Structure formats: C-alpha cells, structure tokens
C-alpha cells in the first residue's frame, strides 16, 4: 500500500514537470512569434517644394496656314490639275467645274438686265410725258437695279468656278475627283503652307489646366518621328469654348524655328510650363504603394503600428513623388520595409 502511494506521488511530480516545461516552451514560441511580427522599417520626413507643374498633353502637328479649299458654286468637277502630295504656288489653278450651268445662269441674268433696262427706258419716257405715274417709274427703277445686282452676282460666281492655291504649299489631301458633283463649300483639297515657321501642335486640355495657361507660355515638344530631339514652342492660341465632342479645350503651340521636315498629322507630346508656381509635399518614390493613376497609399507609424494612408499624387520627377493631399510637411512615412507591411502591423523603427 505504501509502495503504491509512492508511485502515485512520483507520477504526479513527473506530469507536473512535463507541464511546466511545455508551458515554458510555448511561452518561448509566443515570444519568438512576437519578435518576428515586429517588422523593421525606416522613416522619412515629408518635405515641401515650390515648383511649376507642367501641363502634359499629346497632340498632332498641323500648319498655321492650313486650308480646306472648295468651290463657291456647286457643279460637276471638270478638271483637277494637281495630285496629292504635290507642291503648288500661290494663285496656281488646282481645279475647275463644268461651266454649262453657270454660263446659262450668267446669260439668264444678262437677258433679265436687258429687259429691265428696256422697261426703264420706256417708262421713263412715259413718265416724262406724264403718261406713267411716279410709282410705275420707281418700280422699274428698282427692277433695273435688282437686275444689275443679279448679273454681277452671276459673273462673280462664274469667276469662282475654279479653285486656286491661297499660298505656296503642298496638297496634303485630294478629297474629290473629276466627274464628282461638288456642292458649294464642300472641301475638294486640304493643303498647308510650305513655310518652316508655320508648324504648330494642336492639343486638347482639361478646364483645370486651361485656367493655368495663357498665350506666351513656353513649351517643350517631343515628336515621335524624331525621338532623340526636343523642340521649343510657345502657346499661340487658346480656345474659349470646349470641343463639343471631347469636352477639351484646344490649345495651339507654335514651334519656334523648327527646320526639320514635318508633315500634318505627326504625333507629338507636349509639356507646357504655366506661370504660376505651386507648393507640393514631396516623398521618395519608395514610400508609395498600390499606385493607381493619381491615387496611391503610403504607410505612417504611430505607437509602433503601421497605418495605411491614402494620398493623391500630382506627378513624379527624378525619383520624388509630388503629393496634392494626404500627407503634410514633417509627417513621417515608411520607406524601407513598406512592401512588407499591412495596416495595423507592429513595426520596429530603425535609424
């Protein structure tokens, strides 16, 4: 009986010892996990910088003297004297329409004028002899004046039954061909000037950017056709109303003394420098995570905890991110270690 009691006591002591050892090992494991969750990070104090944010906008090369040439009077195109891509001189005949209908209109107006003149002469004699009344004489006088104007208008339309080049340049596009019926004012040719100082870039910008610009602002232009060169430009014109299709305001940037061979429609990227400066909060690009356009996130630290903070990005330059909102000057953001953080995780700040 005594031996049984001793064995029971020994068994209890061994069990207690095992339990104590197990608890100590568990505490050690928990302490180890806690150590692992303290992610080491480095902080950066946000700075501020006064800079001028450029207005970035894509566009297309165009000519300041481009023109869409058309007939004033509609008709059948009888002859086209130039081809697409051909260089032309100012005043050169480009196309003409069949004059059969126009000549008939001129002849009809001439006959009307002759009749009005005869009516006027006859009524004038009758009025002198007091046979015709003053009202009759005034009516034929008006009729004669109207007939003269109609005849002049018919002759004028005949003189514009042809298209001539408005300036030295090149036919960019031939829109219609011989035998087609051209309506009055319907474009037949698209041409631009051959001058090297006539090139410009047309871009569309949003209203908030439009308000920051004015004619005379300088710009840099990159043309895909010449990827290794940068051209200088100046804002020459700004639209006062948005395009009804895109909702953007058109801005024209005149290229300053560009001597490269250019063509209408070449793609270009522009950076326009406004006059007004702006102050931005700046942080390293390493601090920004989960960027999506102008929206992004950074991590700040409070009470050794990481906190995910949304920010709004203006633009990035030379490895520095310019912020519009979300972080103020002097606030510290995580740089090294930010990729391993989640919101609320414990961190260890390293110097």
Return d(Cα 115, Cα 128) in angstroms, integer.
20
182, burial (CB in 10 Å: exposed 0-12, middle 13-18, buried 19+) = buried
Long-range pairs for 78-83 at CB < 8 Å and ≥24 separation? 78/178, 79/178, 80/174, 80/176, 80/177, 80/178, 80/188, 82/171, 82/174, 82/189, 83/171, 83/174
pLDDT at residue number 50 = 81
Return d(Cα 251, Cα 214) in angstroms, integer.
10
Domain edges within the chain:
1-34, 39-51+277-349, 56-65+194-272, 70-189
- What is the rounded radius of gyration, in angstroms, for the C-alpha atoms of the chain? 42
Q: How sure is the predictor about 320, in pLDDT bands with cuts at 50, 70 and 90?
A: confident
pLDDT of residue 81 exceeding 80: yes
* Entry pTM: 0.50
**Number of CB atoms found within 10 A of residue 246's CB:** 9
Q: How sure is the predictor about 196, in pLDDT bands with cuts at 50, 70 and 90?
A: low
pLDDT digits (tens, 9 = 90+) for 139-195: 999 999 999 999 999 998 888 888 888 888 888 889 888 888 888 888 999 887 765
Residue 255 tokens read as: 């290229």
First CA to last CA across the chain, in angstroms?
69
Higher pLDDT, 202 or 54: 202
Quick one: fold of 39-51+277-349?
A: 2.40.420
pLDDT of residue 281 exceeding 70: yes
Q: What's the whole-number average pLDDT of the chain?
A: 82
* Class of the CATH domain delimited by 70-189: mainly alpha
Whether the domain at 39-51+277-349 and the domain at 70-189 fall into the same CATH topology: no
How many Cα atoms sit within 13 Å of 101 on the Cβ side? 11
Return d(Cα 59, Cα 264) in angstroms, integer.
11
Helix (H), strand (E) at residue 108:
helix 100-128
67-70/187-193 β-pairing: antiparallel
Cα–Cα nearest to 326, from 295, 301, 347: 295
Identify whether the C-beta of residue 95 lies closer than 8 Å to the C-beta of residue 188.
yes
Q: In what order do the strands lie in the sheet with 87-88?
A: 67-70, 187-193, 169-174, 87-88
Return d(Cα 91, Cα 166) in angstroms, integer.
6
Q: How sure is the predictor about 129, in pLDDT bands with cuts at 50, 70 and 90?
A: confident
Out of 3-7, 53-57, 183-187, 335-339, least confident range: 3-7
pLDDT of residue 66 exceeding 90: no
Return d(Cα 330, Cα 211) in angstroms, integer.
31
Return d(Cα 182, Cα 166) in angstroms, integer.
19
DSSP 8-state code for residue 266: -
CATH 2.40.30.170 assigned to 56-65+194-272: yes
Tracing tokens 């942080």 back to the chain, one arrives at 283
């Amino acid at each position: 009986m005594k031996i049984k009691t001793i064995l029971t006591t020994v068994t209890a002591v061994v069990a207690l010892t095992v339990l104590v050892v197990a608890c100590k090992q568990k505490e050690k494991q928990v302490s180890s996990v806690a150590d692992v969750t303290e992610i080491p990070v480095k902080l950066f104090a946000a700075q501020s910088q006064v800079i001028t944010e450029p207005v970035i906008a894509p566009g297309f090369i165009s000519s300041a003297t481009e023109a869409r040439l058309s007939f004033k009077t509609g008709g059948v195109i009888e002859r086209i004297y130039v081809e697409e891509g051909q260089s032309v001189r100012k005043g050169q005949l480009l196309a003409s329409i069949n004059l059969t209908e126009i000549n008939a209109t001129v002849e009809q107006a001439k006959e009307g004028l002759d009749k009005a003149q005869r009516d006027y002469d006859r009524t004038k004699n009758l009025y002198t002899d007091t046979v015709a009344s003053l009202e009759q004489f005034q009516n034929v006088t008006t009729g004669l004046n109207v007939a003269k104007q109609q005849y002049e208008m018919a002759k004028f339309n005949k003189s514009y039954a042809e298209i001539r080049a408005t300036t030295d340049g090149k036919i960019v596009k031939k829109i219609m061909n011989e035998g087609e019926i051209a309506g009055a004012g319907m474009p037949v040719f698209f041409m631009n000037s051959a001058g090297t100082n006539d090139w410009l870039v047309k871009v569309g910008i949003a209203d908030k950017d439009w308000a920051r610009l004015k004619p005379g602002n300088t710009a840099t232009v990159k043309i895909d056709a010449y990827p290794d060169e940068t051209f200088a430009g100046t804002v020459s014109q700004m639209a006062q109303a948005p395009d009804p299709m895109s909702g953007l305001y058109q801005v024209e940037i005149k290229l300053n003394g560009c001597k490269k061979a250019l063509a209408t429609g070449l793609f270009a990227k522009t950076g326009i420098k406004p006059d007004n400066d702006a102050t931005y909060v700046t942080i390293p690009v390493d601090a920004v995570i989960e960027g999506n356009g102008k929206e992004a996130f950074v991590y700040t630290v409070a009470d050794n905890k990481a906190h995910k903070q949304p920010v709004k990005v203006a633009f990035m330059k030379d490895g520095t991110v310019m912020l519009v909102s979300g972080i103020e000057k002097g606030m510290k953001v995580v740089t090294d270690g930010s990729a391993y953080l989640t919101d609320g995780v414990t961190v260890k700040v390293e110097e």
